[in-house]
Amino acid sequence: MTMFLVPFILSLSIVFTRLTHPLSAGIMLLIQTTLISISSGMISSSFWFSYILFLIFLGGMLVLFIYVASLASNESFELSITLALLVIMSSTIISTAVLLLDPLLSIQSVSMEHSFLSAKNVPDMFSISTHFIYNFPTMSLTMIVILYLLFTLIVVVEMTSVFSGPLRLSK
């Protein structure tokens, strides 16, 4: 599955260089982040890293969206059909090239008993990765991080004021 996401990620990277509107670039970054988070979650033993990566990028995208909406609020947004066709054609060409040139992706070489996600490997893999965070040696570090994030959230909420908004004046 990861090998099928890689050509799509590459084609979206090519299309990203052709975008001119900030909102379309933001949507493209959000799609890229989602695909990269999915592929990194499939590679690693747990989806925690990809989940945190997605949340960090989503928070950054929200800040960028508010900034762009306050600066360029009257600019029109138009979708381009040629850009959509470019994405479809480039991802098709790249995925076909990957499938034809990689001998490991042939149907005969893929077997479920040699697979990374076979049924016998899944319980051991997830039990090791999730119990490690909450057991004794790292439990105190996890609690310190949770309390630090809670304290930071409370401080940021107290620092922000209802009357201090974006750059636009409210009427």
**What is the DSSP secondary structure assignment for residue 13, as one 8-state letter?**
H
Residues 124-171 have pLDDT tens digits of 555 556 666 667 777 788 888 889 989 988 888 777 766 665 555 555
**Across the chain, what does the average pLDDT equal?**
73
- How confident is the model at residue 25, as a pLDDT? 81
Query: 62: pLDDT confidence band, cut at 50, 70 and 90?
Result: confident
Neighbours of 139 (CB within 10 A): 11
N residues, the chain: 171
Q: What is the dihedral of CA 91, 36, 71, 164, to 10 degrees?
A: 160
Q: Look at residues 97, 75, 90 and name the one whose alpha carbon lies nearest to residue 21.
A: 75
**What is the DSSP secondary structure assignment for residue 102, as one 8-state letter?**
-
| Domain boundaries of the chain, sorted by first residue | 2-113
